[in-house]
Amino acid sequence: MIDDAWPYRVPLQEDELLSSFLIRNAHVHGTTPYRFLSYYWPGRQIWNRDTDRTADSVWLDELGLLADVPTGRLEASTLLPFRRVLGSTLRNGDTPLLLSISIFHRTRRRHGLQFCPACLAEGRHWFRRIWRLGFVVVCPEHCIALLDACPACGSPVVPHRSLRLDLTRCHRCDAFLGSQTRANLPAAGALEWQIHLLGALSGSSQDVGPFSTAEVFATVRSLLSILTARSMHAALRDAFHLPPATLPASRLQFEHARATERALMMETLAAWLASWPATFRIGANTASLTQRTFQRLRQPPTLRMELKRLPTGNGRN
């Protein structure tokens, strides 16, 4: 590794993803992220990994010397602080409520990086950490729906592969990612819960409704597991008089779902939790939920108390 600091450096923006910061530093040096980082760390696997999720402290120390940024700030730009709060990994290795990008060699198989087209259109050309959170479906500043694909060709967002050295351009068709904004938003309750959960994640909220911060994310994730089932989701939307909306026929894990699907689920979740425990009981009765439905899911204390009121349910022989 070269000991001298980078000749040109861009500042790390507030809530900017580490990968976005690395890309912008490569571009200011007039080269691609692949060439730039391989010069300083030859052989290190950076772009065929989810670096924002897996960056280690030794590498961050080295990066801090080159970029002239304290290691603590660099770690805060990764997803590691989110992972510590959101809890243990799921059975396939994903972190609950954190979007998966599923990298295979250099290909991203899932749309796990969202963006606000209005933010990009205003000249703020960097990607934010909260755009990797599955329950964040609306830009808090512009109040428009986040996108998770190129508006022109529908490709996943892979900013480090842009051939024009511009992370706001689609790596496949070169379209500007900030060219289209959408007004179709989920109900206000979904945005309200997004704000609540962001507050709990940052530590600025002590409690979220009837749930403590220690149990709210596990509770929300368990309920979202129920909502990924197409029949359950339809029954709950009907129970709360929400407009009919259909999820894909194949059941998706929440962390793998597209932005429009997650917005629907957050809208349904918000109605289900609008007045705890009354609305929860209405939804559970309408969808014929039982204790066995939640058998494999995490059951924090407040949720467990309500689950005990449900019928036991029948097991399979």
Give the pLDDT of residue 283: 97
Q: What is the mean pLDDT of the chain?
A: 93
Mean pLDDT value across residues 10-35: 97
Give the pLDDT of residue 106: 72
CA distance 94 to 100: 7
pLDDT in tens, 86-106: 988 888 889 999 999 988 777
Say if residue 63's pLDDT is above 90.
yes
Single pTM value for the model = 0.95
Mean pLDDT value across residues 258-265: 94
pLDDT in tens, 234-256: 999 999 999 998 888 777 899 99
Spacing of C-alpha 129 from chain mean position: 8
pLDDT in tens, 182-203: 767 777 789 999 999 999 999 8
Give the pLDDT of residue 105: 72
CA distance 314 to 155: 43
Say if residue 3's pLDDT is above 70.
no
pLDDT in tens, 283-299: 999 999 999 999 999 99
Mean pLDDT value across residues 68-73: 97
Mean pLDDT value across residues 125-149: 95
**All residues at 6 or more sequence positions from 281 whose CB lies less than 8 Å from its CB, including other chains:** 306, 309
Mean pLDDT value across residues 116-133: 96
Give the pLDDT of residue 248: 85
Share of the chain above pLDDT 70, in %: 98
Greater confidence (317 vs 277) lies with: 277
Tokens of 32: 């691609």
Mean pLDDT value across residues 307-317: 85
